[in-house]
Amino acid sequence: MNIPNKITVSRICLIPIFVIIMLVDFDWGTVSFADVTMPVTHLVGALIFIIASVTDWIDGHYARKYNLVTNLGKFLDPLADKLLVSAALIVLVELNYAASWIVIIIISREFAVTGLRLILAGTGEVVAANMLGKIKTWTQIIAVSALLLHNWPFAFINFDFATVALWVSMFFTIWSGWDYFALNKDVFKNSK
């Protein structure tokens, strides 16, 4: 396994640590920034999520720079993104920081696209994420990070950036899912 794929696997390994930090009732106190007070566990969880998310850029950059792009990486990288974001969104629903119906739409799209990827893989085609898919992923990461950080640093100007970011990420999630299916519609026409 090459270094970019190991970085991707490390992102997957951070998911259970993130979930435990966020959901187990550790009494680590609170921390305040400007007008926002949050449990220390939420700050630590947000930092773990952000670090794991940044590894998405690192592994892709490293793989392209050193010509280490593999079919395993093309499969694992978007899967790791989906697992990380889905886990974080479910945690946010559990904590009542995100609307469940928005999370259901986002996760449903992720399952649908993963299913399509598996169908395409069965035909020997492994499709890397396109630019719209990358925008979708980064809007999700920004929205989740803002929600995990309790809308800091936007709380002091009384602007609910986190909620707006979640709506934007839902828009790009739907759009990129539609685009992915539209670009690969032939797989359904040629299926037996």
Q: What would the DSSP string read from start to end of 115-157?
A: HHHHHHHHTT------HHHHHHHHHHHHHHHHHHTTTTTTGGG
123-182 residue pLDDT tens: 777 666 688 988 998 999 999 999 999 988 777 677 899 999 999 999 999 999 999 999
Q: Which residues contact 96 (CB under 8 A, 6 or more apart)?
A: none
Contacts (Cβ under 8 Å, ≥6 apart) of 53: 84, 141, 145
Specify the 3-state DSSP secondary structure of 172.
Answer: helix
Domain that holds residue 136: 3-189
Pairing assessment for the beta strands 36-39 and 30-33 based on DSSP bridges: antiparallel
Could you give the number of structural domains in the chain? 1
The model's pTM: 0.89
Mean pLDDT on 181-185: 89
Cα pseudo-dihedral 186, 124, 70, 51, rounded to 10: 50
The CA–CA distances, whole Å, from 37 to 70, 90, 102, 126 equal 44, 22, 25, 45
Instruction: Give the domain CATH number at 80.
Output: 1.20.120
